[in-house]
Structure 1
Amino acid sequence: MFAITHILYSSAFGMKPLDLRTGAVMAFISSILYSLLYSYLSGPFTYLVAVYTALIAFMGWRAVAGVQLCNDLWTWTKLSACIGAVLFIVSDLTIAVNKFCFPVPCSRTIIMATYYAAQMLISLSAVECRDEDDYRKKK
């Protein structure tokens, strides 16, 4: 179900701007993280974790690519999506390290705090701020 969530979030974040450089950075980071996990994986987990890593990296790429801090085109909603996606990655990475590698101190707190913060921020990214002029135009 989390894999489906990442696919839906990726779709919601959209494919514009493409920002291939950010995609390459996310692919590089996720490759390093997977290679660190790889030696601890066996059986079907080897492939399942690889696919899941690719999905969450893609979701992170789409959220980070949308921010565009350098171009002054960023919005609070895009920044919220970006931070939420990164926190989601931290949450899932903590789960993977705790399950496959070694016990992470305070893992439950880290996992749940980053997960709930991620969900809140991603949810807030769907809300656009409107001022009174926007409401007057609709009347």
Structure 2
Amino acid sequence: MKRIALFIGSMSVATAGFCGVGQYSDSTVCYIYKQDKLQKKLNCQYDVVEGASMSYAFRQASYTLPGFGKMATSNSANYNDSGDVTGWTTTVNDEPAIIRYRLPTNQRIVSEAYAQSGKEILTCYVSKKSKWEICAEQ
């Protein structure tokens, strides 16, 4: 994946510990679903900002979708001192969402265990409210 811009910095040794932030942009293939039905497969552009510290991690991506406008996804996690996740937030266009996975060949939904196996998958963000879903090859 070609990364146009990469910025890593912001180290803090105070209470938060190490903090890093990265930004990059690229193009890929996006799949747009509405209530589990494929609406469009298209080439899209995306911009990502991600970062982490000892107690917090986040990833925000904004997709430019010709004919659909923009879709923004985000996920963030809070961690306690033991490194356990204490809270998780995922959104699509600021609506509560879930993350799920699909096969890149036929877009069939697969389990998280399959996704963690190292095989190629599409990561998808599904709005709980509007049922819009965006999947991207990355």
**Same fold by TM-score greater than 0.5:** no
Q: Which has the higher contact order (CA 8 A, sep 6+)?
A: 1
TM-score by length of 2: 0.28
Normalised to the residue count of structure 1, the TM-score between the two structures is 0.28
Name whichever structure is richer in strand by fraction: 2
Identify, as 1 or 2, the structure richer in helix. 1
